Amino acid sequence: MPSIDQNSAATLLPNFRNLGVMLRMLVIVTALTAVAAMLKSSNWSGFMQQWVAIAAVVQPIVILSVLLLGAANSGLHKLEYRSAVVLIVAVELAVTLLVLRFGALILETEMADAGRDAFFAVATTLALLGYFNLRNRALSPVLTEARLQALQARIRPHFLFNSINAVLSLIRAEPRRAEAALEDMADLFRVLMADNRDLAPLANEVELCRQYLALEQLRLGSRLQIDWHVDNMPGDALMPPLVLQPLLENAVYHGIEPSIEPGVVSVSIYHVRDQVHMVLRNPYRKDGSHHAGNKMALGNIRERLALHFDAEASLQARVGDKEYEVHITIPYVKADE
């Protein structure tokens, strides 16, 4: 198993197209304008007047900056970090002077405070970049990887022993089927033991899930029925590896195994505009030990989704009378973006 290393890309720029990054930029700058207004006023009425006056200048700069950085995101990430920072500061300085000049022309005033405003624009830009750098270091996936590997270590023996027993039962009667099952096991455990920090195509994850469920069907037979809905699946969408497989393992372990009756595990994957939706459903028993195992997997997956996609990803679990549903939403990101 690969060692757990610190994040080697801790100084990378944030993804300026990410909704969470955009919101943080707007909130932080708005908070700074509020502090500036507070320092320049002595009462509530004066504070509101100062805040409106400052925001009238700052907000157009922030909105224009967010749009420009989002448009240039791919190019900025191809540059060396320091070069990208210098370029961003230069762009912010130009945007600030442009907005100030435009405002002076409309109001027919002089740019008396342009130097001070430009200084604060540069200082704020550097502070924001420093914040995102520190945040990226703080969110280094060391802890999450450790929890993921601990979860995998718990899952592997249970699944491995069951799979071996299922293959042993086939060796004499259906040797070719047993051979195919062993190949699926090898592929599955190769992925489980790999370094899974990078995003991978959704098609790879689905193929891994098919191999896993095929192995489980060897053991459970007709008790396990799979209902795939992937006609509208964007196979090139990138996602963290081993997101669906642990959820399917929980679906089989908690939804199918406890019952002697056949059960259906449903997998629906589709995209709507710029989002990818993954919906998993399995039978649910109120008297089963369903909750503890699922909470561990769900908490781990939520952390990994947040690390990669921030506020643009979500995971929701819903318990019905006879059904358990997990709905994952991620942004539709492709390799060339």
Same domain, 219 and 301: yes
Question: Can you give the pLDDT at residue 142?
Answer: 54
Same domain, 217 and 301: yes
Question: Can you give the pLDDT at residue 267?
Answer: 96
Calculated CA dihedral for residues 18, 20, 23, 28, nearest 10 degrees: -120
Question: Can you give the pLDDT at residue 5?
Answer: 43
Which CATH number characterizes residue 269's domain? 3.30.565.10
Same domain, 319 and 263: yes
Question: Per residue in 97-132, pLDDT tens?
Answer: 888 888 777 655 555 577 788 888 889 999 999 988
**Number of domains within the chain:** 2
SS3 319: strand
Rounded to two decimals, the pTM is 0.71
Question: Can you give the pLDDT at residue 263?
Answer: 92
Same domain, 67 and 127: yes
User: Kind of pairing, strands 275-283 and 323-331?
Assistant: antiparallel
Q: Identify which has the larger pLDDT, 268 or 52.
A: 268
Question: What mean pLDDT comes out for the span 130-159?
Answer: 63
Q: Domain range spanning residue 279?
A: 142-331
Same domain, 306 and 181: yes
Backbone angles phi, psi at 323, to 5 degrees: -145, 145
- 162 falls within a domain: yes
Same domain, 147 and 276: yes
For residue 56, is pLDDT > 60? yes
- 3 falls within a domain: no
Start-end of H helices in 108-168: 114-138, 142-168
Same domain, 159 and 120: no
Burial of 309: CB neighbours in 10 Å, binned 0-12, 13-18, 19+: buried
- Residue that terminates a domain, selected from 138, 154, 179: 138
- Residue that terminates a domain, selected from 88, 111, 138: 138
Q: Which DSSP state fits 311?
A: G
For residue 7, is pLDDT > 50? no
Give the largest CA-CA distance in the chain.
Answer: 92
Distance of alpha carbon 18 from alpha carbon 221, whole angstroms: 44
32 to 18, 158, 247: CA distances (angstroms): 21, 53, 42
Same domain, 123 and 34: yes
Question: Per residue in 167-226, pLDDT tens?
Answer: 787 787 778 888 888 888 887 777 766 666 678 899 999 998 998 898 888 888 889 999
- Residue that terminates a domain, selected from 138, 158, 181: 138
